[in-house]
Structure 1
Amino acid sequence: MTVHSKNEALMCKVFPSSLGSVAIRWFNGLKTNFIDSYKRLTQAFGSRFVTNSIAPRPLSALELGWATYCPRDPQNPPPKEYHTCLGDLYTMAWMEDSGIHNPRTETLEQQYKLVRTNCNIFEDINNNLDRSSHVMQYGDIGLSQANLSFYIGANSTDTFVDQSKDYLWSPSQTINQRDADLVHFWDKFEKAPKGSPRKVEARKQFVEAMSYRMHVDSSVRLTGELLFGIVKSDEMLNTVQPTGQPLVDDWDCLKAMVRTFETHCGSLSQYGMKHMRSFANICNARIKRDQMDAASTQVCVSVPSGHYSSLENGFSA
């Protein structure tokens, strides 16, 4: 292959010999004249099987996700036998578009615009900028004119709605993804028969979750106060790095600080991930691991047990 790496025609002919059964079906289904170079071929292959990089996605990990189709949603609740939210705002918009529009005619660009609009519609309804997912595109934007079927296939027996009309569902309620477990426990509690073991257990789970959240919040706050002092702690823990700078200067330090804290204070859990910036700032302030160990030992006099224990859940970093 390296001998002929500059012979694009030959490289394109040899390329299929390296593909498995699924990939070769994709290759054989490429439209005539869609691929005009070996670079284009490898980009298309990478987008389809490696990163799908042209697909729309939420802006970044710094933005919250929003759960939808949740219990007690007045317009779009899940089936009554379910006690959980069925999906997040972005994923549901993407899945719904993929299911109702013809992938043979809809392009990636059209889908991106529809999904982006639908993820922002909650912002328009409720005038709440913090409850929308800001969908972005990444990768080779030139691929956006390709049809969806090029990536997800198409069933010739399916029927689809008019492409010119917007049939996407409009969310009436979104729930912070970190609160989805509370919604689950509370819905179980309300639906369980009065005085039943199920009601007692659901209430116990809800109270435990709320109590542990308070434990995580207070533990991080007190640890910061021991490391930086009461006056400067809040500022130090919530500092945002300048634009273009990474979250933390030393990623190994971040992992060490999180593990040290969790060893003494228990798992951060999904909820506690919101404090990751605080641990990054502790590293950026050049706090040593032994200082973190001493502070978290003083804050958490006993290690949480059960599913909140880092021994059972493992470490978050």
Structure 2
Amino acid sequence: MARTAAAAAVAVLLVAACVVAPSMALPFTGSTNAAGGKNWAVLVAGSNTWGNYRHQADVCHAYQVLISHGFDPDNIITFMYDDLAQNIQNPNKGVIINRPNGPNVYQGVRKDYTKNDVTPQNFLNVIKGNKAAMSGIGSGRVLESGPNDNVFINFVDHGGPGIIAFPSDVLQASDLNNALSYMNQNNMYAQLVFYLEACESGSMFQNILPTNTKIFATTAADATHSSYACYYDSTLHTYLGDVYSVNWMENSDSSDLRQETLYQQYTIVKQETNTSTVCQFGDTSFDSSPVIDFLGGNNSTATLTHLHSADGHMHFRRRPTADAIDSRMVEIDIMLKRIAEARDDQETRTALQQELVSMLQLRADTRARFGRIVSRVAGEDSVERHMTTRLSLPDYTCVEKATRAFHDACLNLGANAWALEHTMAFVSMCSEGADPADIVAAINDDCSVKTMKLKL
């Protein structure tokens, strides 16, 4: 109770206070972490396209958080598609922001893996330290951490039950947790912290991540609900951030991470992220450790400049929940906003309306396809029940087989991650004992033409 009250008190102070001035530097000295080892980080934005702007903006901001707190850039490995800074829709070339009128978080970011190198397998090879597998790919850099080193992993993208997305592929919970187990067995860290932003992100760790392997994970949502986007920018026509990610990063920007513990940051972020249920998993035995042991290092200035606006002046923090929206509705919401903004330009308005119709039609066709698959497996009378039930499972093996089959045969779920919502139907059927082989057969039968697979 005591630490909860303390964390709540910190949260109140953060909400009420204005951002600290840049001159209030917080110099750090001493070893990189409490174990006397180095700190390592892997940052991953798993999406691409302008509509998913917020994911890469989140990761760029995370990079700046680490650097401002003294993290060695040689120990940060970054995955991002890198299609925003010079995007035709970007009026300020070379600039990416993570909050309204915010600073350029893209500047100085070292990108190790971009474009088609942003894949699940490359990510797994990097965190497992498989240098041979990464030879000739991107920078080729992998984790070279050892038993005295701390590791921080931050993943941001779309997700679904037991799955997170990459630009053109998906990563399943079993594969991620097997990689983390490999890291543990091969003494690749002293302690590891994992911050995961995705819909149903809790399903990646719930009932899977052990409580005794020195891995502490927090997620943007529980196993059955969406995470939320925030900070819509009417000039850029996109959302700039995600609520959970913005909350932990803006807290890190404005806090003395030598004093704030992992548990306190988790509690603050959970309280401020009232759009979804932030969860913690794994080993909490070291959650009293200061955040700086994972997000910082030697020679930190922690100038807190990243909460300042582009004009260099201080502004009171705008709550990210003010315009938060379900991540799966972002694409539609952006289109509706653009149509409204184009009321005086009939040609543009008509083109946007036609694009919206196409988006809605694809979504309707996809839902209908899931319904047909459910009908084939469980009967027509059960379709609506399975399509609307939201529950978690102790084991996602059945769901993983079905989701992988759907991705391979029907629709690229990495590029159309909004469709992951409907894989909850697989969860529902699996929970009632459906044979995964029957689900896969129904998927292959319905998707034999593969017409939907053409949309990437």
Unaligned runs of 5+ in 2: 1-27, 38-144, 154-188, 195-215, 308-315
Alignment match, 2:394: 245
Distance 2:386 2:281 in 1: 33
Q: Identify the match of residue 158 of structure 1 among 299, 303, 306.
A: 303
- Change in Cα spacing, 1:100 to 1:81, as seen in structure 2 (3 Å) is same
- Change in Cα spacing, 1:227 to 1:69, as seen in structure 2 (3 Å) is same
SS at match of 1:143: coil
- Change in Cα spacing, 1:97 to 1:86, as seen in structure 2 (3 Å) is same
- Change in Cα spacing, 1:239 to 1:177, as seen in structure 2 (3 Å) is closer
SS at match of 1:56: strand
Q: Identity rate of aligned residues, in percent? A: 17
What do the CA deviations read for 1:283-302 (whole angstroms, capped 9, x no partner)?
Answer: 652316444444456xxxx7
Answer yes or no: is 1:35 the counterpart of 2:178: no
- Change in Cα spacing, 1:155 to 1:214, as seen in structure 2 (3 Å) is same
SS at match of 1:145: coil
- Change in Cα spacing, 1:44 to 1:184, as seen in structure 2 (3 Å) is farther
- Change in Cα spacing, 1:311 to 1:81, as seen in structure 2 (3 Å) is same
Answer yes or no: is 1:277 the counterpart of 2:424: yes
Tell me which protein shows more strand as a share of its residues.
2
**Aligned residue identity for 2:278:** V
RMSD: 3.9
Work out which of the two has the higher radius of gyration on C-alpha atoms and give 1 or 2.
1
Distance 1:254 1:66 in 2: 23
- Change in Cα spacing, 1:144 to 1:224, as seen in structure 2 (3 Å) is closer
SS at match of 1:172: helix
Distance 1:43 1:187 in 2: 50
Distance 1:159 1:235 in 2: 49
- Change in Cα spacing, 1:237 to 1:43, as seen in structure 2 (3 Å) is farther
Distance 1:246 1:156 in 2: 45
Structure 1 length as normaliser, TM-score? 0.63
Distance 1:219 1:279 in 2: 13
Structure 2 length as normaliser, TM-score? 0.46
**Aligned residue identity for 1:35:** A
Answer yes or no: is 1:173 the counterpart of 2:318: no
Distance 1:157 1:288 in 2: 52
- Change in Cα spacing, 1:176 to 1:240, as seen in structure 2 (3 Å) is closer
Tell me which protein shows more helix as a share of its residues.
1
Answer yes or no: is 1:108 the counterpart of 2:258: no
Unaligned runs of 5+ in 1: 1-25, 71-77, 121-131
* 1:92 Cα deviation from its structure 2 partner: 1.1
Aligned pairs (5 A) from 1:262-273: 262=411, 269-273=416-420
Q: Is the 8 A contact 1:248 1:281 kept in 2?
A: no
Distance 1:295 1:158 in 2: 56
SS at match of 2:35: coil
* 1:239 Cα deviation from its structure 2 partner: 6.2
Q: Is the 8 A contact 2:228 2:327 kept in 1?
A: yes
**Aligned residue identity for 1:52:** V
- Change in Cα spacing, 1:148 to 1:285, as seen in structure 2 (3 Å) is closer
Answer yes or no: is 1:65 the counterpart of 2:214: no
What do the CA deviations read for 1:86-128 (whole angstroms, capped 9, x no partner)?
Answer: 11111111111011112233222222221111113xxxxxxxx
